[in-house]
Amino acid sequence: MSGNDSRTHDIVLDGGATMRVAAISPHVFRVRLRSDGEFAEPGLVRYGIVRGQPGDVALSVSETGGVVRLDSGEASLTVSRVDGRLKLRDADGEVLLADAEAPISDPAQGFRASFALTEGERLYGLGDETRDRLDKRGHETPIVLRNVVSYVPIPFLMSTGGWAVFVNSTWFHHVDAGASDPDRLVFSARQGELDLYLIAGATLPELLDHYTAVSGRPALLPAWAYGLTWVCDDRGVRARDVLYEAHMFRREGIPLDAIGLEPCWMQTRYDFSVDKTWNEETFHQPFWKPHQEPGGFSAGLSNMGYKLSLWLCCDYDLSEYEERLLTGDEGAEDAEEDAAQASLLAADRYDEDVIRDPHFVPRYQDTITRRGEPWFEHLKKFVDNGAAAFKMDGANQVCFHPDRRWHNGMDDAEMHNLYPVLLAKQMSRGFSDHTGRRSMIYTAGGYAGIQQYAATWAGDTGGGEKPLVCILNHGLSGHSNTSCDMEVWHAPGIHFGFLQPWSQILCWHQYNQPWFLPPEVYEVFRFYARLRYRMLPYLYSMAHVAARTGMPIMRAMPLVAPDDPASDGLLTQYMLGEWLLTCAFTDTLHLPAGRWIDYWTGEAHEGPQDLRYDPPAGRGGPLFVKAGAIIPTWPPMDYVGQASLESVGLEVFPGGSSAFTLYEDDGVSLAHLDGAVATTRISCEEEAERVTLTIAPREGAYEGMPECRAWDVELHLADEPSAVTVDGAEPVGGWEWDAGVLRVQVAEDAARARPVVVCCVLG
């Protein structure tokens, strides 16, 4: 075969089946297999969740001895015409991943792909399907969304061997990552066809980057969503109760941005329909004041700086709207008729399904959905009433519908995993289309692609060690905006609850208001709440990084210390962004190689070592800073946007050469998608006799950006400097030295054209 530059290539195997290979990017090959060569797009691609079309890649194709080679320049894939066996290689020709047996694909009988595993290879991913481990080598699991057991399964695995596999299927299927045979990774299903994305990347962060380029980058939430969310009690709560509770947070000086209502806000609790209304007795909304100004309930919250969040449940047929988007009104009606009249599936297809019940046969029996009315349409009035966020409960997302055929013709075995992603997509886009603002949708259920539409929390499982592992596994699967219900009644729970991507507290049927805690616990809560808001520019910058690369805010240790043999066993330890190391619910912290500074005490330690740690009074666990850290901070505020940002702090812990990029935008609109972002690169050089901090001019702009900025710099140094200069001169206002910390305020050039350089001479 002569070479060509086609981006998609069909290879007819000796048995007559067709294998279709597409170069999605230079590092990603999509491989599909069918006996008849008729390839229809599965739901994740059909509905625009996963990228299915080839990229702008010059794919060189050649054949030698019955083996077809497809080369993108960064990776190559070979396919045997005899049986379709695959080999993925890197740019140097080294084999990364190879089939252990011939792949099988038959829509009626399912698919199977088996790959050889090498000695010492470790595997990560699969989302929230187990909370007992990080390394999935030796583990097996069904890829099925299940309440509590598996809230967000994600059919993605990446390896320390430089490869990853994403199974582009929503059918119930199974992954065996060396449990049955320690040398084999097997993906299998009883229904559906083989559709794999094979990914090459030298490191785990690179693999996450390539994967999220296909499955969607993590959403950048509104800035306030990275603050604190408070979800109220659900027992007869009235609007007046919520307003006075909101007032108490402000009076107590506890920063808080969002207040959520549970099902109590609805006239009919757990109303799944599009006919839901406010509870007339407890949350009366005058029809003549839909926007609440002045004097309305949500206006009162807004005037105090709060965002309102509403709890929802959903059993709507979301596929009807997705099909309508693709086919138009007439096509949608035809599709519904086809689905309603489709021949019933044979019961024996369900004799071994996940529900273990052969008596259900799918029928189109939905009585809730209104044809032609998108799910989000009925929610616009609540947004107009002031709702700025929605909490999507597990509710019917996590329930099986074995007797339902959905509008798009799918039965539950194919639609069940897809449903929560469609819900998040329609909620997120519906909100943004209606308001022009970023959405804050948070949900318990999910699947591949959920990261681009919604945040998640760990469901009704509390905020202890298991939810911590859940969040780490999410980060190892391309999802960054994750959280869990904070355990406010003890210091370790508070410590963990505030040191994660976003923070929330659920009351439900408890009085978790912080002022009802014992005095010593209350003070711990107040401290951590203020600490989180102080560090929000750091966390928000890390959210920007996640939205660009897939590297999560909360990072499991294998992501940051893959060569440290202890990393896989550190189930309660993580990096929060680039510089902060912490753990919860344990008295032992593992320090990787390098110098680490105790954030509470200033004491320095050298890694690698295991450190037994007793936190100081008023703290719930350790917080260490990596040497070289540059951490931007905000002034005190009760909610995001309250305080002016003409002055921003910098906490600097010199260590060799280091740098940090501060990302800023308007925090609310969608303008960041069009580049309305300002970045400031801050670097630090530690030498034998001096430390030099350089603040580069801001690049880019956004609406409302401060014209000029002062920086309150805190340099953590081992010894008092003998001289300090700013841009070569004595700093205006002088400088202070206090117990290992140099403090100096500097101002950037009014024209933002020159860097600010702070130099400390040591000794």
CA dihedral (172, 177, 181, 187) in degrees, to 10, reads: 30
Sheet containing 604-612: give its strands across: 554-556, 573-576, 580-583, 623-626, 588-598, 604-612
Judgement on whether residues 205 and 318 belong to the same structural domain of the protein: no
Please give the model's pTM, rounded to 2 decimal places. Answer: 0.95
Confidence of residue 6 (pLDDT cuts 50, 70, 90): low
Query: What does the pLDDT average to over 699-704?
Result: 96
Give the pair of three-digit tokens for residue 162. 């430089």
Total Cβ atoms within 10 A of residue 497: 26
User: Does residue 230 lie within any of the structural domains?
Assistant: no
Query: Taking a C-beta distance cutoff of 8 angstroms, is the pair 631, 655 a contact?
Result: no
| Residue 7, pLDDT score | 82
Q: Give the separation between CA 467 and CA 135, rounded to whole angstroms.
A: 16
- CATH number (domain holding residue 23): 2.60.40.1760
User: Does residue 534 lie within any of the structural domains?
Assistant: no
Confidence check: pLDDT of 334 > 70: no
Q: Give the separation between CA 72 and CA 24, rounded to whole angstroms.
A: 10
pLDDT, one tens digit per residue, over 72-96 is 999 999 999 999 999 999 999 999 9
Lowest average pLDDT, out of 40-49, 123-132, 582-591, 731-740, goes to 731-740
Confidence check: pLDDT of 231 > 70: yes
Domains: count for the chain: 3
User: Does residue 582 lie within any of the structural domains?
Assistant: no
Amino acid residing at 447: Y
User: Does residue 25 lie within any of the structural domains?
Assistant: yes
Domain boundary residue, one of 435, 457, 479:
457
Domain boundary residue, one of 431, 457, 483:
457
User: Does residue 508 lie within any of the structural domains?
Assistant: no
pLDDT, one tens digit per residue, over 209-218 is 999 999 999 9
Judgement on whether residues 201 and 350 belong to the same structural domain of the protein: no
Judgement on whether residues 21 and 137 belong to the same structural domain of the protein: yes
Identify the residue with better confidence: 155 or 336.
155
Domain boundary residue, one of 199, 215, 231:
215
Give the pair of three-digit tokens for residue 21. 């290979």
User: Who contacts 511 (Cβ-Cβ below 8 Å, separation ≥6)?
Assistant: 233
Judgement on whether residues 46 and 188 belong to the same structural domain of the protein: yes
Judgement on whether residues 332 and 449 belong to the same structural domain of the protein: yes
Identify the residue with better confidence: 349 or 730.
730
Q: Give the separation between CA 443 and CA 457, rounded to whole angstroms.
A: 6
Total Cβ atoms within 10 A of residue 761: 13
pLDDT, one tens digit per residue, over 358-389 is 555 677 778 899 999 999 999 999 999 999 99
| Residue 286, pLDDT score | 80
Q: Give the separation between CA 404 and CA 192, rounded to whole angstroms.
A: 18
Q: Give the separation between CA 66 and CA 85, rounded to whole angstroms.
A: 11
| Residue 343, pLDDT score | 35
| Residue 294, pLDDT score | 84
Query: Taking a C-beta distance cutoff of 8 angstroms, is the pair 567, 557 a contact?
Result: yes
Q: Give, as one character, the DSSP assignment of residue 253.
A: T
Q: How many CA atoms lie within 13 A of 294 on its CB side?
A: 1
User: Who contacts 261 (Cβ-Cβ below 8 Å, separation ≥6)?
Assistant: 231, 232, 237, 242, 283, 308, 309, 310, 311
- CATH number (domain holding residue 654): 2.60.40.1180
Query: What does the pLDDT average to over 702-729?
Result: 95
Judgement on whether residues 329 and 205 belong to the same structural domain of the protein: no
Judgement on whether residues 316 and 205 belong to the same structural domain of the protein: no
| Residue 307, pLDDT score | 98
Confidence check: pLDDT of 750 > 90: no
User: Who contacts 515 (Cβ-Cβ below 8 Å, separation ≥6)?
Assistant: 248, 252, 522
Judgement on whether residues 317 and 176 belong to the same structural domain of the protein: no
Give the pair of three-digit tokens for residue 568. 């896989």
| Residue 355, pLDDT score | 55
Confidence check: pLDDT of 3 > 50: no
pLDDT, one tens digit per residue, over 449-468 is 999 999 999 999 999 999 99
**In the chain, count of helices (H) and strands (E)?**
13, 41
The domain in which residue 320 lies consists of: 312-457
Q: Give the separation between CA 423 and CA 320, rounded to whole angstroms.
A: 12
Q: Give the separation between CA 585 and CA 570, rounded to whole angstroms.
A: 12
Judgement on whether residues 198 and 330 belong to the same structural domain of the protein: no
Query: What does the pLDDT average to over 342-347?
Result: 38
Judgement on whether residues 84 and 206 belong to the same structural domain of the protein: yes
| Residue 339, pLDDT score | 47
User: Does residue 576 lie within any of the structural domains?
Assistant: no
User: Does residue 50 lie within any of the structural domains?
Assistant: yes
Average pLDDT, the chain: 93
CA dist list (Å): 280 to 285, 340, 383, 671: 7, 38, 17, 38
User: Does residue 247 lie within any of the structural domains?
Assistant: no
Judgement on whether residues 322 and 211 belong to the same structural domain of the protein: no
SS3 content of the chain, % helix, strand, coil (to 5): 25, 30, 45
Query: Taking a C-beta distance cutoff of 8 angstroms, is the pair 684, 656 a contact?
Result: no
Confidence of residue 295 (pLDDT cuts 50, 70, 90): confident
Query: Taking a C-beta distance cutoff of 8 angstroms, is the pair 9, 71 a contact?
Result: no
Identify the residue with better confidence: 325 or 295.
325
Query: What does the pLDDT average to over 632-644?
Result: 96
| Residue 359, pLDDT score | 57
| Residue 292, pLDDT score | 73
Q: Give the separation between CA 523 and CA 605, rounded to whole angstroms.
A: 28
Q: Phi and psi dihedrals of 515, rounded to 5?
A: -75, -5
